Structure 1
Amino acid sequence: MCGIVGLYLKNQKLESDLGALFAPMLEAMTDRGPDSAGFAVYGDEYASGIKLTLQGDAAMDWEALAKRFESTLGPVDGWFTNADVGVFKLGVDERFALAWLAENAPEVRVLSAGQSIEILKGVGLPNDVAERYGLAGMKGSHAIGHTRMATESAVTLEGSHPFSTGLDLCLVHNGSLSNHNWLRSKLKRAGISFKTDNDSEVAAGYLTWRMAKGDSLTQALKGALNDLDGFFTFTVGTQDGFAVVRDPIACKPAVIAETDDYVVMASEYRALAKLPGIDKARVWEPEPGKIYVWERSVANVEAA
């Protein structure tokens, strides 16, 4: 049992309040996942290269890493630290930057890469993780989050969600996949790499693989409904927005609400209950096997 939440702001005037609106939603899912938590925030876009969210130990010297970046990869357009995380904006190709890190700084964990995304996660109660990284003060256009109750693997930072295997793409998952080991082997042969044995990372890798082949997010999720066995509710974050899909049986709970200002989803309604205007929202349970997508670049979609 885990808890997932997502918030997409349709009203740009609310973007400065994204974290303040989202943090109570994540905390409300504590009973569904008290051992670890994580979230992805989309904002502070950097269009001139790659933005990396990196995690190290308490003794990590981020300033020294920034100097190493500058001496080997070129100018660092900006960087900052947040607890045990460093966020760097580099004017280089993503593949070049990640290959350099793997060879020269293997002690650094890459949480996310893209132009907008920042993933932050850790072991502990959701409220503690949110406070550690200052979620309530964050700004942006949308966010997704996860609270984990580990039932099939150890309680570790590596096993916590969200999982990201592509640029500005991440996934949170409530449920369990039965064919993830076979699918992991297939995706590895296609060039997708994995850092954990978690089935949810395989689902994220599957979407990365399909979208790298030219599929839209909706097409990739349609493929997932055919190729992934098990039970699941996915919420997927992209640079443009987010999507929600449940497996055709839909035994894992989910609720969606929409107003003129936002679209929001959660495993349970109580995570939405304190949002402004929720009493006037359209509220519904997403249908089994139906894909719901909201993105800035296209009209809002409810795909069959």
Structure 2
Amino acid sequence: MCGIIGLHLRDPALHPVLGRLLDDMLGGVAERGPDSVGIAVYGDEERTPPGHAAVSVLRAPGDLAATVGGLLPGAPAVCAQAAGDTTVLTAPVAVDALVAAVSAAAPDALVVGSGTDLVVYKGAGHPRDLARTYGLRDVTGWQGLAHTRMATESAINPEGCHPYSVGADQCLVHNGSFSNHATVRRELQRRGTAFDSENDSEVGARFVAACLAEGDDLEKALLRLGETFDGFYTLLVTTADGFAVVRDEIACKPAVIAEHPRWVAMASEFRALADLPGIDEARIFEPDPGRVYTWQR
């Protein structure tokens, strides 16, 4: 069992309270996944300064920032901020350059997020405790999501947390199971895609990333996923300018969407949405089976 929340802010006046809103929403799904939580936030300029790339890393050695800085052209200053199991590195370079330098400097570390507008945190433990570790209530920005997990098929560790962020400024969270993920994985590997885990959700994330890299928009990418994957799922997918929700054709996994002129939100349970500002004025609905819902920044 898992819990999903996501919030896309349309009103810039709400950007300073993104973290507080997400933290309150997280409390509404904490019981669905008390084992671990992953969080992604977009647009926090303290955590990802303008003109900088950010890379989120698990199993980072203590001297990683200095080593990475020495590998980058011009040896720019690299900042490292640790929050529990996650270390976030930022530097005034391109995303691909920073990811490559991290991988070269620490081959045993795991990159779990990257972008120019995105920070990802992952850890095992109760969602409320980890939210404090990540400083969630202090987050600012325009978009965020979180995934709580009660492990059923894999170990309880930070590596197994969602979101899966396998493309720059891209995230996918998943409640459900893809039954043919091994077949899709083999096809992606045949095309040159590398994987970090055996998790079925990573296969979904890499499939969507491949579609986006081919030029698809979020709606088309998720429609292609529905045509390719078997199983049951609720997915929330975010990018540098998009927010999308889709359920499979049977729609056995829960999801509620609330749409307001100032924001769009989704959650596994309505109680996670109940305290959002203006919720009484929002359009609240359960997404239709198989239909892709998208919003753009």
TM-score range for the pair, normalised by the shorter chain length: over 0.9
What SS class does the counterpart of residue 245 from structure 2 fall into? strand
Shift of 1:107: 3.4
> Is residue 17 from structure 1 mapped to residue 20 from structure 2 by the alignment?
no
> Does the CA contact (< 8 Å) of 1:142 and 1:241 recur in 2?
no
> Does the CA contact (< 8 Å) of 2:226 and 2:248 recur in 1?
yes
What SS class does the counterpart of residue 166 from structure 1 fall into? coil
Shift of 1:70: 2.6
> Does the CA contact (< 8 Å) of 1:33 and 1:148 recur in 2?
yes
Question: Residue 35 of structure 1 aligns with which residue?
Answer: 35
Question: Residue 301 of structure 1 aligns with which residue?
Answer: none
Residue identity in the other structure for 1:246:
R
Q: Please, which runs of 5 or more residues in structure 1 have no aligned partner?
A: 297-304
Q: How many residues align?
A: 292
> Does the CA contact (< 8 Å) of 2:171 and 2:205 recur in 1?
yes
Shift of 1:65: 2.5
Instruction: Provide, for residues 110-142 of structure 1, a one-character-per-residue CA deviation record: whole Å limited to 9, x for no partner.
Output: 121111111101111111111111111101100
RMSD over equivalenced CA pairs, Å: 1.7
Q: Quick one: distance in 2 between partners of 1:46 and 1:236?
A: 23
Shift of 1:80: 4.1
What SS class does the counterpart of residue 295 from structure 2 fall into? strand
Q: Please, which runs of 5 or more residues in structure 2 have no aligned partner?
A: none
> Is residue 264 from structure 1 mapped to residue 265 from structure 2 by the alignment?
yes
Q: Quick one: distance in 2 between partners of 1:188 and 1:129?
A: 34
Moved more, 152-161 or 230-239: 152-161
Identity over aligned pairs, percent: 46
> Does the CA contact (< 8 Å) of 2:58 and 2:159 recur in 1?
no
> Does the CA contact (< 8 Å) of 1:165 and 1:204 recur in 2?
yes
Q: TM-score, normalised by structure 1?
A: 0.91
> Is residue 51 from structure 1 mapped to residue 67 from structure 2 by the alignment?
no
Question: Residue 76 of structure 1 aligns with which residue?
Answer: 76
Residue identity in the other structure for 2:67:
R
Q: Quick one: distance in 1 between partners of 2:76 and 2:137?
A: 27
Moved more, 212-221 or 88-97: 88-97
> Is residue 283 from structure 1 mapped to residue 284 from structure 2 by the alignment?
yes
Question: Residue 7 of structure 1 aligns with which residue?
Answer: 7
Shift of 1:190: 1.8
Residue identity in the other structure for 1:230:
G
Moved more, 249-258 or 82-91: 82-91
Shift of 1:227: 0.4
> Does the CA contact (< 8 Å) of 1:5 and 1:26 recur in 2?
yes
Q: Quick one: distance in 2 between partners of 1:12 and 1:215?
A: 28
> Does the CA contact (< 8 Å) of 2:54 and 2:90 recur in 1?
yes
